[in-house]
Each structure stands twice: as structure tokens, then as C-alpha cells.
Amino acid sequence: MAAAADVFDYIIVGAGSAGSVLAHRLTEDPDVRVLVLEAGPGDRGPMSVILHMPSAFAYPLASDRYNWYYHSEPDPHMDGRAMYCPRGRVLGGSSSINGMVYIRGHALDYEGWSRYKGLADWSYADCLPYFRKAETREQGGDDYRGDRGPLKVATGRCDNPLYEAFIEAGQQAGYARTEDMNGFRQEGLGPMDMTVHQGRRCSTAVAYLRPAMARPNLQVRTRALVTRVLFEPGSDPARAIGVEVANGAHLDRIRATREVILCGGAINSPQILQLSGVGDPDALRGHGITPVVPLRGVGENLQDHLETYVQVACTQPITLYSAMSLPAKAKIGAQWLLTGTGLGATNHFEAGGFIRSAAGVEQPDLQYHFLPMAISYDGSSPASFHGYQAHVGPMRSTSRGFVRLRNADPKVPPRILFNYMSTEQDRIEMRAAIRLTREIFGQKAFDPFRGASVSPTDEVRTDAQIDAHIRQHAESALHPSCTCRMGADDDAAAVTDGQGRVHGTRGLRVVDASIMPDVVSGNLNAPTIMMAEKIADAIRGRTPLPRSTAPWFTHPHWRTRQR
């Protein structure tokens, strides 16, 4: 029997992007008691500078201090490589270790969601008000952007001339400049937004969770590994009544009188469901787990963005390579600690964009992040020369993977397979990504800076050569999603309904990127926050925000022109 102190109205599993939002919004009601359980540590302490200094994000991505540090199964279409899959394990979750890029996705992504049975209220008109509710943009609000939300968003200053060269080269190649790819027009190249405020990372722990922790009706416990959801014996449908939590060698049980809400993300949420007996009953029995709710879609439909780097040597010493020596890093760190300014106060992804890979593609399907340095995303391949690079990859992959239990031990990472590049469509789009990026880098704007092609080299030209390069070098853009996807309960692939409620259960909900029916065209932190804001209103029984009437841009000649 649980003690009275271990009974809450809501138990939120995971203090990441969605969990922090829900903790904040649910505890706005002073009569509701909420417990947040986070498997990782807090986001403060001697080592936490690597979480809060924007330019230091490569460090938590490359270590397991604040990171689940997952790796996939050998991927059959990537030369058998085990693909790295970092996931946040800290207050703020992946919003505390990610690259801080703030991108919402394209309006047509949400129009596509709304066409699934049971998801009519996930259209762009329904979602845009919640993007605005969550955000405060430093330039102010408008019909697309918010100015009163908890999440602080800044736009890249683009002081390094290479940023402007990239945007100008795009225009010379025939692509438009867009000043706000989260506004009316996503398509084009321009400055990018980041979740940075006054030179510090604005994670959801900073924006949502910390303010809520001052309320007496919220309790947050770190280093609390949830091993399974508990169900009321004999209930039909199965009613979630709490969770089991590993406490050293002991297992504690904590009761929820209203709901258990899983916010573990696209890897951990399906893992916890399966450990709890929710999933493919045959697979569960194979691990000695008694099925409680047969849902074969749990852990399936895994989607992600794959990206590659197009790297070029720079003939002028103006890149971030100058900042990579120990004395330079010390100087940058000291300036940031003292003033919150300088090279330490940005994620350096200050320019980017979206283009269409071919005529007949209605919305952009390739995304760019431009970086004035040649280095791997997580810092595992240090810069050794002055260079610049574009991260580029398809936005709406047709490949599908899975997250499945390895065994019944909750401390053992699940089996993850992305199945990247398993379809010809994905290979076609990635080939276009390489060739179109080379064309942009070949424009006049880069003439003062362009050195030799570094990766891929000039010799990589044919379809087969590009395919081989991708298999050997492409990496995850770190956007796993869709493993507990929303949809109507008569759809065998759907796990949750349009409010995140798990089919076949009561009192159990999933709210995170795993419930996306399809991955959006862009980074996932902003959409995940939006989804949590929207579902928080549903949980509280509040009237949804009024639908937006703001239009969006579609290229007038998309059927016949690539640009």
C-alpha cells in the first residue's frame, strides 16, 4: 500500500520538452497535485555549464552524463553501422542537450495530420495558436509569432560573413530569401531561430519547469527510473493507477488518482509501455511479460531525419576553427560566464533554410543548417582546418523503423532500428540534396571563400557514388518520432487518440514526439512543446484556443518548377 505522501493526481514520467510543459500547465490549478519523475539528474551543478552555454552543446551530445547515449541496431542500408541516437536524460530532456534550433515545421505537415481519422483538430489552424502561446520572440509577436509565452526565442545575428554568403548564394541559385521560416514562408534560405535568451540556453526546464517548481503542488524527483505503469487488477478497459520506480535495489510504487502521463520521448515511452504489458502480445510473451493491452503499433512506425554534411575548405581564416584552441575556448568561456555574450552565446546555426528537391513537390522537403566550420554535429570529429558546411537531408523520409524490447529488464536499452535509406524515394531525395547543395556552394557569393571540396570529394558524382557516401557518412539529425502515433482506435497502427490517450486504457496518456503520426518538416523541439501545450488544455477541460486564419506560402509554380 502506498503511503499518503506518494499519492498524486497526475504522475508525469519524464521532465523533457513535453513533461516540463505539462508540469507547468497542470499545476496552474492549485487544487491539483503533480509529480514529475526524471531518470536523469538535475540541470544545475558544477558540470551544468555545458548545458546552459549554447556553443557547448556538443559536449552533452557526446557523453552519457546527461544523455541516454543510445545506439541503434546495425542498420542494413547504412553499411551495417550502429547509428548514434542521443536522448536527453536530465531536467529539460533533449531540450537541455539539443542544438537549440527553433523550427516549427511546415503548415502542410499539420494539414496532413488532420486528415488522419480522429485527428481533425490537428490542422495548422488549430496548432498555430499553441505555437504562439508557448513563445516569446525577441523581435515581437504577430499573426505567426508569440510575445507572451514562457519559451524565449532569438534569431541568429549572422555576424560572420559566411552566413550571408550562404543566403546570398541561395538567391543567386534561384531560391528566395525568407526572413522568418516559422512565419508565412518556410521555403527559402535565411536567418534561423534558436531557443536562446540573453546568451543562455532556454530549455523547457528553464522556461517551464523551474518556474512551476516554486508552486507547492508540484514535486520533482530526479534519478527516478520508472520501470512500468501499474494497472488496476481486473479493470476493463485497463485503468492506470500509478507507476513502479527503481530506488536502488528496491521498487517503490506511487499512485496516480487521475492519470499517468508518459513523456519519455520516441524511445523511452514505447519502451515503458511494452514493459507495462502494452504492445504486441506475442512479442511481450516472448520476454515473459503478461500482455495487458494488445496494441501492435507500440514502438513501430519509427521515423527520423537523416542528414549529411557538405563540407568545403575556406580560403580565409574567418571560420570557427580559430575558436577551437584551448586558449581560445578559455577566452570564449570566460566572456560568456562574465557577460553572457560572445561566441559562447550562440549555437552557431544562425542561417539555414528549406528548399524543394524537385518540381512536383508541393512543400519543401530538404532542410539546411549552415555552420561556419567543418566539424561533426556532436563534436566527435574535431575541426582541423578552416572550412564551412551545410547539414542537409530529406524531411519526410519514407523509411520506417522500430523500438522493441531487448528483454524485460528496464535498465537495458531497447532495440532501435531506423532502417534509414531503405526506400528508393529516400535515396533519390538524398542524391538531390548533395547536388543542389553543391550548386549553392558554387555560386558567386562563395567565390571569396571557396577552397577545395572536403566531403564529399569532387570524385563523388554518380548515383552509386553518392549512395555509398551516404551509407558511410550520413548521421541522424536526432529527430526520432512517431512510435506511439495518434489516430483512431480502429486503426491497428495507432497507439493513442488525438489527445494522447492510450487506446484500450483509462488514465494513461502519452505526450511527446512519439505521438506524431508523421514526422514534421523540421526540428522537433518546437512542435513537441506545441503538442504539450495543446493537450494540456484538453487534460484541464479547457476550451481550445481560437483557430488561426493566418495563410501560408506555397510556391505558385511548384508543379512545374523546382525553384
- 508-523 b/e with 16+ CB inside 10 Å = b? bbbbbbbbbbbbbbbb
Write the single-letter amino acid at 563: R
pLDDT for residue 519:
98
Q: Is the pLDDT of residue 354 over 60?
A: yes
Contact at 8 Å (CB) between 125 and 549? Answer: yes
SS3 label, residue 10: strand
Query: Cβ distance 228 to 246 under 8 Å?
Result: no
User: Is the pLDDT score of 3 beyond 50?
Assistant: no
Q: What is the mean pLDDT of residues 276-299?
A: 97
Mean pLDDT of the chain: 96
Q: Report yes or no on 516 lying in a domain.
A: yes
Angle at 427 between CA 175 and CA 486, to 5 degrees: 85
Q: What is the mean pLDDT of residues 235-249?
A: 93
> What pLDDT, on a 0 to 100 scale, did the predictor assign at position 87?
98
Whether 53 and 147 map to the same domain: the answer is yes
What's the pLDDT at 379?
61
- Residue 406 in any domain: the answer is no
Listed residue (25, 51, 24, 58) closest to 383, CA to CA: 58
Residue 142 DSSP SS3: coil
On whether both 288 and 433 belong to a single domain, the answer is: no
Range of the domain at 232: 1-66+85-153+195-301+482-546
The pLDDT assigned to 171 comes to: 98
Q: What CATH number should be reported for the domain holding residue 354? A: 3.30.410.40
Domains: count for the chain: 2
3-class secondary structure, 356: coil
Residue 432, in any domain of the structure: yes
Summarize pLDDT for 484-534 with one digit per residue, the tens: 999 997 777 899 999 999 999 999 999 999 999 999 999 999 999 999 999
- Residue 79, domain member (yes or no): no
Mean pLDDT value across residues 379-406 = 91
> Rounded to the nearest 5°, which phi and psi values hold at 33?
-105, 130
> CA of 132: how far to CAs of 100, 137, 193, 201, in Å?
18, 9, 14, 19
pLDDT of residue 248: 79
Residue with cell 506511439: 484
pLDDT at 1 over 50: no
In a domain, 165, yes or no: yes
- Strands, DSSP E only, in 62-114? 70-74, 82-85, 101-102
Last residue of a domain, one of 473, 491, 506: 473
Active site residues: 479
| Per-residue confidence (pLDDT) for residue 217, from 0 to 100 | 98
Any idea what the CATH number is for the domain that residue 34 is in? Answer: 3.50.50.60
445/501 same-domain check? no
C-alpha 180/C-alpha 186 separation (Å) is 7
Q: What is the pLDDT of residue 2?
A: 44
Strand partners, 384: none
For 95-110, the pLDDT digits (tens) are: 999 999 999 999 999 9
Residue 415 domain-assigned?
Answer: no
**What is the distance between the alpha carbons of residues 420 and 263, in angstroms, rounded to a whole number?**
25
What pLDDT was estimated at residue 380? 65
Band of residue 266 on the pLDDT scale cut at 50, 70, 90? very high
Please name which of 463, 473, 170, 508 lies closest in space to residue 310, comparing C-alpha atoms: 473
Range scoring the smallest mean pLDDT among 257-266, 320-329, 482-491, 501-510:
482-491
Same domain, 147 and 207: yes
Are the beta carbons of 471 and 83 closer than 8 angstroms? no
The per-residue pLDDT for range 66-88, each reduced to its tens digit, is 999 999 999 999 999 999 999 99
Convert the pLDDT of each residue in 448-492 to its tens digit.
999 999 999 999 999 999 999 999 999 999 999 999 999 997 777
In a domain, 409, yes or no: no
Q: Is the peptide bond before 191 cis (omega within 30 degrees of 0)?
A: no
DSSP state at residue 97: T
In a domain, 78, yes or no: no
Least confident of 172-181, 343-352, 377-386, 464-473: 377-386
- Residue 307: which H helix or E strand, with range? strand 306-314
**Both 93 and 241 in a single domain?**
yes
Residue-wise pLDDT for 25-69, tens only, equals 999 999 999 999 999 999 998 889 999 999 999 999 999 999 999
pLDDT tens profile 165-195: 999 999 999 999 999 999 999 999 999 999 9
213 and 234 fall within a common domain = yes
Distance, in Å, from the CA atom of 56 to the CA atom of 354, rounded to the nearest integer, reads: 26
